[in-house]
Amino acid sequence: MDKPKIAARQPIPVDLEEGKRYSWCTCGLSDNQPWCNGAHKGTDFAPMKFVAEETKTAYMCQCKATGNPGFCDGAHKNLPE
Ligand code: FES
């Protein structure tokens, strides 16, 4: 697997909590989108870990093509069919 799986073609809104750690799924295989559930094991993918800088609703990328890892940047609009 050299490309991530497109888990969904739209972002998902989530409520992030300031100071809390998150692991965004980069492989697209997780059943718990947008978060890692360990499904990347055996692939070259690893989750992107980050700490939320503020409490807010964020639109997390599920297509895995974003240029701003973790967060939707609109790239899902340009995915191949
Ligand atoms: S869902 Fe991936 S860029 Fe919007």
Residue 60: count of CB within 10 angstroms of its CB: 19
Ligand 1 cavity residues, CB under 6 Å? 10-11, 61-63, 65-66, 72-76
Query: Whole-angstrom Cα distance, residue 58 to residue 21?
Result: 14
What average pLDDT does this structure show over 12-36?
98
The label of the residue with tokens 């890692």 reads: 36
pLDDT above 90 for 1:
no
Separation of CA 19 and ligand 1 centre (Å)? 24
- In sequence order, the β-bridge partners of residue 50 are 22
19: its two tokens = 């100071």
Q: Which atom of ligand 1 is nearest to the CA of 65?
A: 2
Question: Which tens digits make up the pLDDT trace of 38-75?
Answer: 999 999 999 999 999 999 999 999 999 999 999 999 99
Q: Which atom of ligand 1 is nearest to the CA of 60?
A: 1
Q: Which atom of ligand 1 is nearest to the CA of 75?
A: 3
pLDDT above 90 for 76:
yes
Domains in the chain: boundaries: 1-81
12 band by pLDDT with thresholds 50, 70 and 90: very high
Separation of CA 63 and ligand 1 centre (Å)? 5
The two counts, helices (H) then strands (E), for the chain are 0, 4
